[in-house]
Amino acid sequence: MSASILAQTLASGILIGLIYALVAIGLTMIFGVMDIVNFAHGEFLMLGMYSAFWLFTLYALDPIVTLPLTILMLFAFGVILYKLVISRIANASMLSQIFTTFGIMYLLRGVAQFLWKPDYRTIENSSVSGTVHFLGLQVGEPQVVAGVGAVLVTAAIWWFLNHTRLGAALEATASDKEAARLMGIDSHRMFALAWGIGAACAGAAGGLLATFFPIFPDVGSTFILLAFVVVNLGGFGSVTGAFIAGILVGVIEVMGGLLIGPQYKMAIVLMLFLGVLMFRPQGLMGKA
């Protein structure tokens, strides 16, 4: 196993990890603010992918160009979903919440299959195809762009949460809903905002993934377990945590697959996950 193959694999791991991070950030925000685990999160990813695909196929618009549009559409979708369904279970038991989001997961998959058939679609020859060479490494251009995109969106989220009033309000609701309400912050709006941003993040990840990954109605299921692991590892509710954990999981998955065997990639990630849960359940950066 030469050094160059190891270095190459590390680079690939970081890049895919950035995608995991972006998906997980959306998930962790929803949990941080509302205490709800969104099992339908993978479907936001799927919708983002289809959004990029249809805009490309029907209107010949490049996925990178349409990315902001995809993000906006998914944001709106997240807010609408909150208003129609989630708001009704905001105070329900954990079990109800889990199963509502499960239902949404199946529903979105079923609707996607109904509308767009189960065939596999891809975006070919977008503005980001080809390979990039640097430092003796060779990586796909779509992957690099996706990675950069993920970093940018994460940075934007981080800036929003820490340097804007609205972001501060969101954080306040996340740490103490009642206190925030007493300060005049409307939790309803904050919840809707959280869902919108959460969906938008996953949608962004989807839009970026669509440049190199096959698109099909059930694609969310491929990413969701990894997203949960990342969120747990990073600490429920922590954006920075999700970012770091995402990269970590990406690297471990790919390196583990290379060194131990690809059929065990997930097993390695899961064992790491359980290990962290046992010794540091709040994750790397979560509140204890």
Partner 1 sequence: MKQWIFPAAFLAVALALPMFADASRLNLAILVLMAAQLGVSWNIVGGYAGQVSLGHAAFFGLGAYTSTLLLVKFGVNPWFGILAGGAVAVALSLAFGWSCFRLKGHYFAMATIAVAELVQIFFTEWDYGGAAVGLSVPMHKTGWAWMNFASKLPYYWLALALLVITLAVNLWIERSWLGYYFRAIKDEPDAARSIGVNIARYKQVALSISAFFTALGGSLYAQKELFIDPGSVLATGLSIKMALVSILGGVGTLFGPLVGSVVLTSIEEFTRSMFGGTGRGTDIIIYAALIIFIAVFYPTGLVGWWRSLRWPRLRSAARKGERKGLGELA
Partner 2 sequence: MKWTIGARAAALACGLALAATAHAQQEVKIGVIYPLTGSSASVGGELRSALELAADIINNGAPGMPDLPFSHGKGLPNLKGAKIKLVFADHQASPQVGATEAERLITQEHVVAIVGAYNSAVTATASQVAERAGIPFLNPESSSATLTQRGFKWFFRTTPHDDLFVHNAFEFLAELEKKKGIKVGTIATLNENGLWGVETGKLQARLAPDFKYTIVKQISYPSKSTQLTSEVQSLKAANPNVVMQSSYTPDAILSMKTYKELGFSPDMILANDAGFADTEFIKTLGKDADYIISREAWALDLAKSKPLIKQVDDLFRSRYKIDFTGNSARTFTGLMVLADAINRAGSTEPEAIRKALVATNIPSSQLIMPWDGVKFDAQGQNTLGRGILVQIVGGQYHTVWPFNLATRDVTWPMPKWDQRK
Q: Structure tokens of 7?
A: 């270095």
Toward partner 2, which CB reaches closer, 9 or 238? 9
Residue 288 binds to partner 1 (criterion: CB under 8 A) = no
Q: How far apart are CA 249 and CA 240, in angstroms?
A: 14
Distance of CA 124 to the CA centre of its chain: 23
Among 265, 276, 283, 286, binds partner 2 (CB under 8 A): 265
Between the CA atoms of 7, 145, 217 and 78, what dihedral angle is there, to the nearest 10 degrees? 120
106 binds, among partner 2, partner 1, none (CB under 5 to 8 A by kind): partner 1
| Least distance CB 56 / partner 2 (angstroms) | 13
Query: In this structure, are residues 170 and 183 in contact, taking their beta carbons and an 8 Å threshold?
Result: no
DSSP single-letter state for residue 183: T
Toward partner 1, which CB reaches closer, 98 or 137? 98
Residue 274 binds to partner 1 (criterion: CB under 8 A) = yes
Q: How far apart are CA 272 and CA 288, in angstroms?
A: 19
Residue 44 binds to partner 1 (criterion: CB under 8 A) = no
Q: How far apart are CA 44 and CA 105, in angstroms?
A: 9
Q: Name which of residues 220 to 239 contact partner 2 (CB under 8 A).
A: 221-223, 226
Q: Judging by beta carbons within 10 Å of its beta carbon (0-12, 13-18, 19+), is residue 39 exposed, middle or buried?
A: buried
CA distances 193 to 52, 219, 232, 253, Å, are 23, 25, 22, 32
Site string for partner 2, 136-175 (x = CB under 8 A): --xxx--x--------------------------------
Q: Name which of residues 175 to 214 contact partner 2 (CB under 8 A).
A: 212-214
Among 212, 264, 284, 285, binds partner 1 (CB under 8 A): 264
Q: How far apart are CA 42 and CA 142, in angstroms?
A: 20
Q: Which of 123, 124, 128, 85 lies closest to 104 in space, CA to CA?
A: 85
Among 99, 158, 160, 212, binds partner 1 (CB under 8 A): 99
Residue 110 binds to partner 1 (criterion: CB under 8 A) = yes
Q: How far apart are CA 111 and CA 105, in angstroms?
A: 10
Q: Write the single-letter amino acid at 169.
A: A
Residue 120 binds to partner 1 (criterion: CB under 8 A) = no
254 binds, among partner 2, partner 1, none (CB under 5 to 8 A by kind): partner 2
| Least distance CB 81 / partner 1 (angstroms) | 11
Q: How far apart are CA 232 and CA 178, in angstroms?
A: 25
Q: 10 Å Cβ neighbour count for 216?
A: 21
Question: Using N-to-C axis directions, what is the helix angle for 165-175 and 141-163, rounded to 10°?
Answer: 80
187 binds, among partner 2, partner 1, none (CB under 5 to 8 A by kind): none
Positions that interact with partner 2 (CB under 8 A): 1-2, 5, 8-9, 12-13, 16, 19-20, 113, 117-122, 124-125, 131, 138-140, 143, 212-214, 216, 218, 221-223, 226, 253-258, 261-263, 265-266
Positions that interact with partner 1 (CB under 8 A): 31, 37, 85, 88-89, 91-100, 102-107, 109-111, 113-114, 118, 217, 225, 228-229, 232, 236, 263-264, 266-267, 270-271, 273-274, 277-278, 281
